[in-house]
């Protein structure tokens, strides 16, 4: 694996977070619409139980409650990301939440943005796909505190991978 220095300064982290915010906004709007439609269906006259074994309305109300909780979770993630501080990082800085990190493993080189919430998403910037990772994820936990040229082993889905930190920004 090569570990040549890589400049991540071309990426504007605030702009990256704005892209995530737009994704979350869209997800919140869609989830809110689904929750409202399900709640309306649960209370509609046609959902009324026809006998004591008919549980359609109860099942729909549980579904609506779960969908409303999903909206609340997405709004919470969005609030955490919007309030996230983005401090300048030097190439020698340790990885913290808010760091943009280029790593190399058996699959090649990729870039991740360590965030407090919203992990698992991908955003496109400067022709590159950037993965959002939280400190709760195995990769995020392993990255916290690491520096350029640090390497570690990561066990994902039963496969051990060697990961090298190529750049921090």
Local structure of 134: helix, strand or coil: coil
Burial 128-149 (b: 16+ CB within 10 A, else e): eebbbbbbebebbebbeebebe
Q: Taking residues 72-86, what's their average pLDDT?
A: 94
Do residues 24 and 117 lie in contact, with contact meaning Cβ atoms separated by under 8 Å? no
What does the pLDDT look like over 123-162, one tens digit per residue?
999 888 999 999 999 999 999 999 999 999 999 888 899 9
What is the rounded distance in angstroms from the CA atom of residue 135 to the CA atom of residue 142? 8
What tens digit of pLDDT does each residue of 13-65 get? 999 999 999 999 999 999 999 998 888 876 666 656 666 666 666 787 788 88
């Amino acid at each position: 694996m090569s570990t040549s220095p890589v400049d991540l300064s071309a990426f504007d982290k605030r702009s990256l977070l704005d892209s995530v915010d737009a994704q979350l906004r869209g997800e919140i709007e869609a989830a809110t619409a689904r929750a409202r439609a399900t709640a309306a269906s649960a209370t509609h006259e046609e959902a009324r139980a026809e006998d004591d074994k008919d549980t359609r309305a109860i099942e729909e109300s549980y579904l609506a409650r779960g969908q409303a909780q999903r909206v609340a979770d997405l709004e919470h993630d969005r609030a955490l990301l919007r309030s996230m501080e983005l401090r300048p990082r030097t190439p020698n800085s340790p990885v913290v939440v808010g760091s943009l990190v280029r790593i190399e493993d058996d699959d090649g080189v990729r870039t991740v943005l360590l965030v407090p919430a919203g992990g698992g998403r991908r955003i496109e910037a400067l022709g590159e796909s950037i993965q959002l990772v939280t400190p709760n994820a195995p990769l995020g936990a392993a990255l916290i505190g690491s520096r350029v040229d640090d390497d570690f082993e990561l066990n994902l889905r039963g496969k051990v991978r060697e990961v090298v930190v190529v750049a921090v920004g």
